[in-house]
Structure 1
Amino acid sequence: MGTLSYTATVSLDGYAADASGDFQWFAPGDEVFRFHVERTGAVSTEVLGRNTYQLMTYWNAEPEDGSWGEDEREFARRWQEIEHIVVSSTLGPEDLDSPRDRLLLELELSELEQIVRDASGEVEIFGPTTAAAAIRAGMVSDFRFFVVPKVVGGGLRALPADAALDLDLVEHRTYGDTAYLHYTRR
């Protein structure tokens, strides 16, 4: 049986995307990226929305210019071994990049519970819209935030406005001007 975690890159004012929907306003530095490589080793399943899935297809094949370094190749290898469950009502099976990827039109909490039960490791739910119902229902046991020094003034909140959470800080690190905060549910 796995565990359910939620990871997000967050602006100082609590948003995962700005008012125009852009969530690519932060590129991790070398230290943050190396940390992502390490923590991905525990993840067996990713549950993600359409936008994040489409962004992450970058890791399915090295660019022809061979520009990836050792860390990028290791992250891509680990990413490709993870089962991806894509939640989208606009994508079709033909839009999936790998036969290991699975498409759900919507994510029912009972189905998510089954995914976590069946997982051999950590199930990471990626994206605030995809994660909102599970967060509200108290299903997420670990919250990992990469807080970046940017204020976007509005947009898509990293946490649902109506979520009531009681959390313990279990780990924190800084990488230059980025803070990593790991909380667990009480």
Structure 2
Amino acid sequence: MGMLNYAATISLDGYIADSAGDFQWAAPNEDIFALHLARLSGVTTEILGRRTYHLMQYWEDPAQRAEMTEAEQDFAQYWQDVHKIIVSSTLAASQMRSDRDRLQRDLCLADIRRIVAATDGVVEIFGPTTAAEAIRACLVDQFEFFVIPIVLGGGRKALPEGAYRKLRLEDTRTFANGTVYLRYGR
């Protein structure tokens, strides 16, 4: 049986993107990117929505490889190798880029439980919309946040309304640029 993880890079006031949808302010530096790579070593399955799937296709484009650092190439390899469950009612199965990519029309709590139970390792649910019901239902075993020292004042929230849960701080790390990594468990 696996474990369900939710990770996000967020502003100090809890947003993953500003009111215009921009998230470039969250780009990781080399040290933060290295921690992302390390924490992903146990992730065997990613659950994500259509928009995130399209955004992440950058990492599967061979033309981009020449411009990537070694760490970025490592991430690109991880992204190509990990099993992905894409939740979308509009994508076609023919749009899946790999035999590791599985299309799922909708995602209910029973589906999430089944995916986690059938997986060895960590299942990461990617994106606040895709993760919202799992967070509200207290299915997430671990939260990982990279808190950027910026206040946006609005935008797309990292956590859904109506979620309540007490958590235990398991790990923390502060980076030179003021970003703080926080890992919480049940």
Please give the secondary structure, in 1, of the residue aligned with 2:85. strand
Q: Tell me, which stretches of 5 or more residues in structure 2 are unaligned?
A: none
Question: Does residue 178 in structure 1 map to residue 179 in structure 2?
Answer: yes
2:57 corresponds in structure 1 to: 57
1:43 corresponds in structure 2 to: 43
Aligned partner letter, 1:70:
E
Preserved CA contact (<8 Å) 1:5 1:141: yes
Preserved CA contact (<8 Å) 1:14 1:158: yes
Please give the secondary structure, in 2, of the residue aligned with 1:25. helix
Please give the secondary structure, in 1, of the residue aligned with 2:185. strand
* TM-score, length basis structure 1: 0.93
Preserved CA contact (<8 Å) 2:88 2:104: yes
- Written as runs of structure 1 = structure 2, the 5 A alignment for 1:56-75 is 56-63=56-63, 66-75=66-75
How far did 1:149 drift? 1.8
Structure 1 pair 65/89, CA: closer, same or farther in 2 (3 Å)?
Answer: closer
Preserved CA contact (<8 Å) 1:13 1:151: yes
Please give the secondary structure, in 1, of the residue aligned with 2:34. helix
1:145 corresponds in structure 2 to: 145
Question: 2 CA distance for matches of 1:62 and 1:72?
Answer: 12
Structure 1 pair 113/73, CA: closer, same or farther in 2 (3 Å)?
Answer: same
- The percent of aligned pairs where both chains have the same amino acid is 51
Preserved CA contact (<8 Å) 1:145 1:180: yes
Question: 2 CA distance for matches of 1:96 and 1:24?
Answer: 26
2:6 corresponds in structure 1 to: 6
Tell me the matched-pair count.
185
Please give the secondary structure, in 2, of the residue aligned with 1:63. helix
2:87 corresponds in structure 1 to: 87
Q: Tell me, which stretches of 5 or more residues in structure 1 are unaligned?
A: none
* TM-score, length basis structure 2: 0.93
Please give the secondary structure, in 2, of the residue aligned with 1:59. helix
